[in-house]
Structure 1
Amino acid sequence: MDPAQMPRLQEIHANLVDRLQEAKNQGWLGEVAAIETTMAAARQKLEAMRERATQPSTVHLGMPDIRSTVGRITPEP
């Protein structure tokens, strides 16, 4: 999920709201059910995008500390 696509998904969801109202007005029950299912999926995806947008996009893994091993001589058996 690319958060940059959120405006496009919001536009799609708004369009679905309009289509749902039209389908209800026309009595297209099968279309109403299909639109409601699609709206639920779009809503879930928008929620996931919003949640992901609040999380940091990078993870700091730190740097290994090699100072303790540099210059160390291992005793020979």
Structure 2
Amino acid sequence: MDPGQRPRLEEIRSNLIARIAEAEREGWLGEIEGLNIYLAAAEQKLAQLDERARRATTIHLGMPSFLDIAGRTATLPNRKQP
């Protein structure tokens, strides 16, 4: 799934919740059952996006860079050239 579709999925979920509430008020039992199936699918897709985002997060382990390691200089005594 494309993470860019998350806002659309959230909109669909909100719409389904509103439609389920309307169906409950009107007593449309068959409609409620079908809408609940779609709602579960939308929530599952959102959970998949959350899981993918969690796994894709890079964790910095604090590895030293070359400059941190080799940043020290040594001073050698002056030698006379032959």
Q: Which residue of 2 aligns with 1:22?
A: 22
Number of the residue aligned with 1:44:
44
Name the aligned partner's letter for residue 40 of structure 1: A
Partner residue in 1 for 2:13: 13
If each structure's helix is expressed as a fraction of its own residues, which one has the higher value? 2
Task: Determine the C-alpha separation between the residues in 1 that align with 2:36 and 2:54.
Answer: 27
Aligned to 1:75: none
Contiguous gaps of at least 5 residues in structure 2: 58-82
Deviation at 1:54, TM superposition (A): 1.8
Unaligned runs of 5+ in 1: 58-77
- Runs of 4+, deviation exceeding 3 Å: none
Identity of aligned residues (%): 49
Per-residue deviation, residues 16-48 of structure 1 (Å, max 9, x unmatched): 000000000000011000000100010000000
Deviation at 1:53, TM superposition (A): 1.3
Which of 1 and 2 has greater Rg? 2
Task: Between the two structures, name the one with larger relative contact order (CA 8 Å, sep ≥ 6).
Answer: 1
| DSSP 3-state at the match of 1:10 | helix
Q: Aligned-pair distance for 1:4?
A: 0.7
1:63 match: none
Opposite residue 21 of structure 2, the aligned amino acid is Q
Give runs of aligned pairs for residues 61-76 of structure 1, distance below 5 A. Answer: none
Offset at residue 55 of structure 1 (A):
2.1
Q: How many pairs are equivalent?
A: 57
